[in-house]
Structures are given as structure tokens and as C-alpha cells.
């Protein structure tokens, strides 16, 4: 043994340094959205898994270890990599959290209606929910919008008709320049707006669809109220 480090080891070291820089670059390329995020994240995890694999193989010298040990180590790397990718890439049900908010809004409107003396029911309507969702996404992504008008010039009635709902509709919109909005803040906003209060109290609105979405500094909640055609 002459004490010379096998070239392989030095190559692995260089590779680890490069891989670190690559993943750092990937990670700092922020503001990717949607599938871009998943791709970057998956790539990052895969590169990191490769790094760990090579640390085991060439630094820990597992390449010359009994196969059981090598296998155990590699299984660890594989399982962690797969689990990490799965947990990061599979879409989070952020909608689930918003569902709570959306359901809460419907519940509050029902309460306001009944406080105003309505004896009718209030039912969630999927078509109205879709119309609400369109407008929510529209307002979220187009900062110039702040009310009922869509970026294509559509009114709430236009959107409801497009969805297949032909009854009379009205809409209330909340935009919060923050990460989230609480149900209470939201209902207060609408309650103290005379036009919106009138809409919420209208006993003829027996159908409702609610949708909400948020980005880092903007939360949008849209409720579409409908009367059966």
C-alpha cells in the first residue's frame, strides 16, 4: 500500500461538490410554479440520493463490503428517495384546507340569511362553485381585477350561464393582500358592505358556490349566489 488515494475517490469528491452546487442552484431558482416545482424538487432529491449513494459506496467503502450491508444501505437510500419524491410531488390537497374555509363561508351565509328572517334552505351547488372557481383563479392571477368583472369582461351572470346555470346570480368577492384570510375576517368584510349584505340576506338565493385560493401575498374568496331558474 503506497498511501495513494484511488482516483475514483477524488472523482467522487469532485462530483459531490458539483452536485451540491447544482442542487443549490436548482433550489434557489425560486418562483417556479406548478409542475416546474415538482420537477425541480424531484431532480434535487434524485441528485441528493446519488450523492448519498456515492458517499456510501466510495467514502464508506461499502463497495467492498458484504452484500448484505451494501444492500441495507442502498435500500435506505432508495426508500427515502422514493418517499421524499412522493411526498413532495403528489399534489397536496391544499383544496382540503380551503374546503373548510369554503364550507364555513356557506355556513355563515346561511346563518345571516336566517338571522334576516329567511326560512329557506341554502344548498351548495357545483355549477356555481365552478363559476366561483373560474373567477377566483382569474382575480388571483390578474392583479388589476378587484371586483365582479372578469379579465375577459365577463359578469357573474355570464360566467354562470357559461357553466350551465341559467338562474339569476349575484356575487361577493373578497381580496386579501396576505397569505390567508380567516372566515371571520371574510364575513365581516362582506357584512359591512351594504351591497354584499343585501346579497347575503336575499332569501331568494337558495343556491351557493364558494371557492378560494391563495398565493404568498394575495387571497381571493368568491361566493356566487343563485336563484333556481
Partner 1 sequence: MTHPQVRVDPDLPEFLWDSDGVEAAPPPARRPAKARDGHTPGEAGLWIFILGDMTLFAAILIVFLWERRSDPVVFEESAHQLIQPIGAANTLVLVLSSYLVVRAVVAHRAGRYPRARRLVAAAVSCAAVFAGLKAFEYYSAISSGHTPSSGTFFTFYFVLTGLHLLHVIVGTALLLVWQAMLKRRRSWTGSQKVAEGIASYWHMVDLLWVAIFTLVYLVSAE
Question: Where do contacts with partner 1 occur on this chain (CB under 8 A)?
Answer: 1-5, 9-10, 13, 16-17, 20-21, 23-24, 26-28, 30, 32, 37, 40-41, 44-45, 48, 51-52, 55-56, 58-62, 64-67, 69-70, 72-73, 76, 79-80, 83-84, 87-88, 92-94, 97, 179, 214-216
Residue whose CB is less far from partner 1, 78 or 228: 78
Residue whose CB is less far from partner 1, 31 or 144: 31
Residue whose CB is less far from partner 1, 13 or 110: 13
Residue whose CB is less far from partner 1, 50 or 197: 50
Distance separating alpha carbons of residues 229 and 226, to the nearest angstrom: 9
* DSSP string computed for 49-118: HHHHHHIIIIIS-GGGS-HHHHHHHHHHHHHHHHHHHHHHHSPP-HHHHHHHHHHHHHHHHHHHHHHTT-
Of 145, 144, 142, the residue nearest 155 (C-alpha): 145
Rounded to the nearest whole angstrom, what is the least distance from the CB of residue 189 to partner 1 in the complex?
Answer: 21
Rounded to the nearest whole angstrom, what is the least distance from the CB of residue 124 to partner 1 in the complex?
Answer: 24
Residue whose CB is less far from partner 1, 45 or 122: 45
Per DSSP, 216 falls in state T
Rounded to the nearest whole angstrom, what is the least distance from the CB of residue 92 to partner 1 in the complex?
Answer: 4
Residue whose CB is less far from partner 1, 61 or 103: 61
Residue 54 backbone zone (phi > 0: left; psi -120 to 50: alpha; other: beta): alpha
Rounded to the nearest whole angstrom, what is the least distance from the CB of residue 162 to partner 1 in the complex?
Answer: 30
Cβ atoms of 52 and 77 closer than 8 Å: yes
Per DSSP, 183 falls in state H
Rounded to the nearest whole angstrom, what is the least distance from the CB of residue 136 to partner 1 in the complex?
Answer: 16
- CA dihedral over 103, 104, 108, 109, signed as positive or negative: negative
Rounded to the nearest whole angstrom, what is the least distance from the CB of residue 194 to partner 1 in the complex?
Answer: 33
Amino acid at each position: 500500500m503506497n498511501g495513494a488515494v484511488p482516483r475514483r475517490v477524488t472523482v467522487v469528491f469532485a462530483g459531490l461538490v458539483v452536485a451540491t452546487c447544482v442542487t443549490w442552484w436548482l433550489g434557489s431558482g425560486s418562483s417556479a410554479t406548478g409542475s416546474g416545482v415538482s420537477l425541480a424538487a424531484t431532480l434535487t432529491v434524485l441528485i441528493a440520493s446519488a450523492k448519498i449513494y456515492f458517499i456510501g459506496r466510495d467514502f464508506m467503502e461499502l463497495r467492498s463490503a458484504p452484500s448484505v450491508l451494501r444492500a441495507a444501505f442502498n435500500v435506505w437510500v432508495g426508500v427515502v428517495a422514493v418517499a421524499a419524491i412522493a411526498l413532495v410531488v403528489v399534489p397536496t390537497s391544499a383544496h382540503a384546507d380551503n374546503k373548510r374555509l369554503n364550507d364555513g363561508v356557506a355556513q355563515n351565509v346561511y346563518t345571516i340569511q336566517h338571522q334576516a328572517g329567511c326560512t329557506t334552505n341554502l344548498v351548495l351547488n357545483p355549477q356555481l362553485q365552478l363559476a366561483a372557481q373560474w373567477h377566483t383563479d382569474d382575480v388571483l392571477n390578474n392583479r388589476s381585477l378587484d371586483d365582479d368583472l372578469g379579465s375577459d369582461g365577463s359578469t357573474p351572470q355570464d360566467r354562470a350561464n357559461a357553466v350551465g346555470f341559467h338562474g339569476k346570480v349575484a356575487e361577493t368577492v373578497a381580496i386579501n393582500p396576505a397569505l390567508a384570510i380567516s372566515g371571520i375576517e371574510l364575513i365581516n368584510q362582506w357584512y359591512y358592505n351594504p351591497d354584499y349584505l343585501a346579497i347575503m340576506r336575499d332569501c331568494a338565493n337558495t343556491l351557493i358556490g364558494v371557492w378560494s385560493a391563495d398565493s404568498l401575498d394575495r387571497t381571493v374568496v368568491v361566493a356566487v349566489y343563485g336563484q333556481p331558474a
